[in-house]
Amino acid sequence: MSACGRLLRSAARSCRALAAFTSSRRPLRTSPSGRAFAKELFLGRIEKEAVFPFPEVSQDEFDEISQFVGPVEKFFSEEVDSRRIDLEGKIPNETLEKLKSLGLFGMQVPEEYGGLGLSNTMYARMGEIIGLDASIAVTLAAHQAIGLKGIILVGSEEQKAKYLPRLASGEHVAAFCLTEPASGSDAASIQTRATLSDDKKHFILNGSKVWITNGGLANIFTVFAKTKVDEADGSSKDKITAFIVERDFGGVTNGKPEDKLGIRGSNTCEVHFDNTQVPVENVLGEVGGGFKVAVNILNSGRFSMGSTVAGMLKKIIEMTAEYACTRKQFNKPLSEFGLIQEKFALMAQKAYVMESMAYLTAGMLDQPGFPDCSMEAAVVKVFSSEAAWQCVSEALQILGGSGYMRDYPYERMLRDSRILLIFEGTNEILRMYVALTGLQHAGRLLTARVKELKHGNVATIMETISRRLWDTLGRNVDMGLTGKLGAVHPSMADSAVKLEENVYYFGRTVETLLIRFGKTIVEEQMVLKRVANILINLYAMTAVLSRASRSIRSGLCNHDHEVLLANTFCTEAYYQNLLALSQLDKYSPENVDEQIKKLSRQILEKRAYICAHPLDRTS
């Protein structure tokens, strides 16, 4: 099998030589990268060039992907025993060896360092298959999406040459050590410390990290620790620095694997560093620049969750459809009951949307010029993790009592999918990220306008009022998605109009929110959540419209089904957005934020459920 993997890699290499691509990130299109799409939505604009047409891969690349996909798919469907992995809480060694021989430990490592050098799109495609077993997916993701990503992103040539080849082959496993008992997302409370030794050749590392995926398997750790950094003005300050730490440096120990709800096959444990000597060459990036390294790694690792989950969902749809069409009740198969049909439509729709978003984002990332798509990636992560949880739950429901039994894989999938909402930044945190990043962008551009409004500039006020009046009178929003030579196919013109309308009023609402709250909007988390929800919907609508338009225009099979899915989703999302927009309105009856805040305040004051018991009496 290892020969097979090497064969594959050499085949890929020859392909690439043919295509005369030299860089590891191959451009998919030659058009100049537009401005970031999601950020512009906050201004009420659709950056058409970024998302239309849907990114395509060239024929060469498509062939190359198919070459990779075949054997991996075969391996996962025939040899990986997910049930056993879950029961034993461990991925068997032979499975791991085979994964290594298939090259799956170095998918995004550039070829010159012995990796497969896959583009983001191809990586997403591979994720679809790897997602069939959650434990393996998480192990691989912890290894390459975050564990060794730091070396690829900011490592020096020497570091890359030293570490990447062995990491890519899977000889060494990587882990990412950021979380501490007292520090989840708060970098200021990191307690692990690195002090420079007297001879200035080593850093002495001390501290503990918790919940480190691969912590027990890894040989190479990306560790974040506080170091004293001398400022320009002579004072010294504690700043975070990233280090590459080998287990062989000494003083690295790990606790026993944690007993988890799901992804039980992945290895999660505490890692302790006790006077570990790290050579100064192993500083990742700059001393004191660890914060940016951490943020970059975290932001870059998210987009692939969309396709990973989509792969799992497609499989689950197959399995449940089989059941629904064969199981009979009242002389009718389950598939003829409306409430069961509804579940399949939901699952297909979610899978379609997240797939579209994932590949759209991957395509954007593969554009030349390294566009910043971290916001889109966060959107994909939030949407796909929530959809996964919902769809797996619905699938389990289709099977009724059987779904609850351990004989079927659904309960394991349900347990496994729960972690998606939590790791790589909880969905709550990512919503804040999406909303605040977008608002920051909009705020910078709107500052001048808002200032004039606040100072009572008559012309600006009049303009704003007249625009509002015009809006209320039922304005026709046209951003050029439809019509002759429009980006969206006419069969989805209605949906495109809905998207345009949503985007326009979203821009207005963002402006209003910025005027109302200014920089204190950071504290209005419930408002931010709604803003993020709308943005997620808008990006999803764009992605499905773009993808379905491409399918219908190039005549892919079952494109009518895609159009139906796209139209259904857009209609649902449109009304969700309308509701959310009206909830963002200060005086609307739908806005119950104040009540919610008060409720929770009363509960948290007493730290208990404070209602009297229904059977309580006053006398």
Partner 1 sequence: MSWVRAIPQIRGWRGIVGAAFSGAASSQVPRQPLRHIHLGAAAPGPAPTPSSSSSSSLVPRPPVPHEELFGPGSEAGPQDKARFVQAVRAFGQRNAHRRGHVDFIYLALRKMRDFGLERDRAAYHLLLDVFPKDVFRARSFLQRLFVHYPRQQECGVAVLEQMENHGVMPNRETEFLLLQVFGKHSHPMRKLLRMRLWFSRFRAANPFPLPRPLPRDPLRLAGLGLRRLEPDLSARITVYQTPAPPDSTDSTLSPEPDRPHIVGIQSPEQQEALGRHDPARPVFVEGPFPLWLRDQCVHYHVLRADPLPPEYRVAEETPEERNLYYPMQLDLEYGRGPWDDYEFDIDEVAEGPVFAMCIAGARDQATLARWVQGLQETNPTLAGIPVLFRLASSTREPLDSSSELAEQPPPSPPPPEGREEQEDNRRQQQGQG
> Which residues 6+ apart lie within 8 Å of 596 measured at CB?
526
Question: For the chain, how far is it from start to end, CA to CA, in angstroms?
Answer: 79
225 binding partner 1? (CB under 8 A): no
**Segment contacting partner 1 (CB under 8 A): 4-12, 99-107, 198-206, 290-298?**
290-298
Smallest distance, partner 1 to C-beta of residue 518, A: 4
Diameter over CA atoms, the chain: 89
Beta bridge partners, 328, equal 333
Choosing from 20, 188, 339, 458, the residue that interacts with partner 1 (CB under 8 A) is 188
Report the DSSP pairing between strands 174-177 and 220-230: parallel
519 binding partner 1? (CB under 8 A): yes
**Active-site residue flag, 94:** no
Comparison of 250 and 518: residue with beta carbon closer to partner 1 = 518
Beta bridge partners, 239, equal 227
Smallest distance, partner 1 to C-beta of residue 618, A: 4
Choosing from 1, 15, 515, 578, the residue that interacts with partner 1 (CB under 8 A) is 515
Residue type, 1: M
Catalytic residue of the set 386, 411, 424, 500: 424
Q: Which x/- pattern over 567-606 shows residues binding partner 1 (rule: CB under 8 A)?
A: -------------------x------------------xx
618 binding partner 1? (CB under 8 A): yes
484 binding partner 1? (CB under 8 A): no
With 0-12 / 13-18 / 19 or more C-beta atoms within 10 angstroms meaning exposed / middle / buried, residue 1 is middle
**Segment contacting partner 1 (CB under 8 A): 205-213, 286-294, 409-417, 552-560?**
286-294
Q: Which x/- pattern over 434-473 shows residues binding partner 1 (rule: CB under 8 A)?
A: --xx-xx--xx--x--xx--x-------------------
Tokens of 320: 């449940």
Alpha helix segments (H runs only) across 199-327: 290-300, 305-326
Choosing from 19, 206, 517, 568, the residue that interacts with partner 1 (CB under 8 A) is 517
Q: What is the DSSP string of 515-536?
A: HHHGGGGGG-HHHHHHHHHHHH
Beta bridge partners, 220, equal 174, 246
518 binding partner 1? (CB under 8 A): yes
178 binding partner 1? (CB under 8 A): yes
Tokens of 215: 């912590």
**Segment contacting partner 1 (CB under 8 A): 20-28, 150-158, 314-322, 512-520?**
512-520
186 binding partner 1? (CB under 8 A): yes
Give the dihedral of Cα atoms 580, 582, 588, 589; nearest 10 deg: -50
Report d(CA 373, CA 371) in Å as an integer: 6
Choosing from 432, 499, 535, 584, the residue that interacts with partner 1 (CB under 8 A) is 432
Please give the residues from 544 up to 563 whose contact with partner 1 meets the rule CB under 8 A. Answer: none
Q: What is the DSSP letter of 104?
A: G
516 binding partner 1? (CB under 8 A): yes
Kindly report the length of the chain.
619
298 binding partner 1? (CB under 8 A): yes
Beta bridge partners, 333, equal 328
Report d(CA 297, CA 241) in Å as an integer: 14
Choosing from 433, 505, 506, 574, the residue that interacts with partner 1 (CB under 8 A) is 433
Q: Which helix (H) or strand (E) holds 246?
A: strand 236-246
Report d(CA 182, CA 194) in Å as an integer: 17
Comparison of 522 and 578: residue with beta carbon closer to partner 1 = 522
Beta bridge partners, 272, equal 208, 253
Comparison of 341 and 447: residue with beta carbon closer to partner 1 = 447
Catalytic residue numbers?
A: 424
- Residues making contact with partner 1 (CB under 8 A): 178, 185-188, 239-240, 291-292, 294-295, 298, 425, 429-430, 432-433, 436-437, 439-440, 443-444, 447, 450-451, 454, 514-522, 586, 605-607, 612, 618-619
